[in-house]
Structure 1
């Protein structure tokens, strides 16, 4: 006989005890944008600030 919590964990997996930030979308390069991330919007595209230099070089030729 197993403890009911063990049975539940085996059935549904471990509960997510850590609060996760809200998912806002995906940026131009396919990276996930989470609540609190800094990003810019250019011509209906979202670009994470971390990817902005890459965007400027690869897409805009700067």
Structure 2
């Protein structure tokens, strides 16, 4: 005979005890945007702040250099 809680865990798995942030969309590069993420909007496109340099280089042709 098995404890009822063990039986339930075998049937349904462990509960997710870590709160997950809400999904808020996808940026230009297909990366998931979560609530609280910093974003940049340009010409109708949404870009995660972490992808801004990539967007500037790959899409707009910017070049970053040291002085």
TM-score range, shorter chain: 0.7 to 0.9
Would you identify which runs of 4 or more consecutive aligned residues in structure 1 move more than 4 Å? none
- Give the 3-state SS of the residue equivalent to 1:41 in structure 2: strand
**2:30 and 2:13 mapped to 1: Cα distance?**
28
In the TM superposition, residue 45 of structure 1 has moved relative to its aligned partner by 2.2
**1:44 and 1:4 mapped to 2: Cα distance?**
54
Structure 2 partner of 1:19: 19
**How far does the alpha carbon of each residue in 1:36-62 deviate from its partner, in whole angstroms, 9 at most, with x for none?**
110112233221000000001001111
TM-score for the superposition, normalised by structure 2:
0.80
CA RMSD across the alignment: 1.2
5+ long unaligned stretches in structure 1: none
In the TM superposition, residue 12 of structure 1 has moved relative to its aligned partner by 1.5
